[in-house]
Structure 1
Amino acid sequence: MRPHVVAQLAISLDGATSGFDVDLARFYALATLWQEDVTLVDAATIVAQENEVRAAPRRGTRADGPLLAVVDDRARIQTWDALRELGYWSDVLALYADRTPPRPPDATTRELVTGYEDVDLLEALTALGRRGVRTVRVESPTLTSTCLDQELVDELALLIHPVLTGGEPWYDTRRLNLQHAGTEVFKDGVIWIRYCVHPECR
Structure 2
Amino acid sequence: MPILEDAYVGASCVIKTKSNDLLTMGTLQKIKESYLDISNTRNELPEIPYNMLVKIEIYNSQIGFRVLLGSVYISSSKLVRIINLSEAAASEKREFFRINVREYGYLYDENADEFEVELVDISLGGLLFKSKREYSIGTYLTIRIPILGNTNAFHCIVRRHVEFDKGYMGCGCEFTELTMLQEDQLYKFMLKKQNDQLKRVR
Structure 1 or 2: larger strand share?
A: 2
Q: Normalized against structure 1, the TM-score is what? A: 0.25
- Is the radius of gyration larger for structure 1 or structure 2? 2
Structure 1 or 2: larger helix share?
A: 1
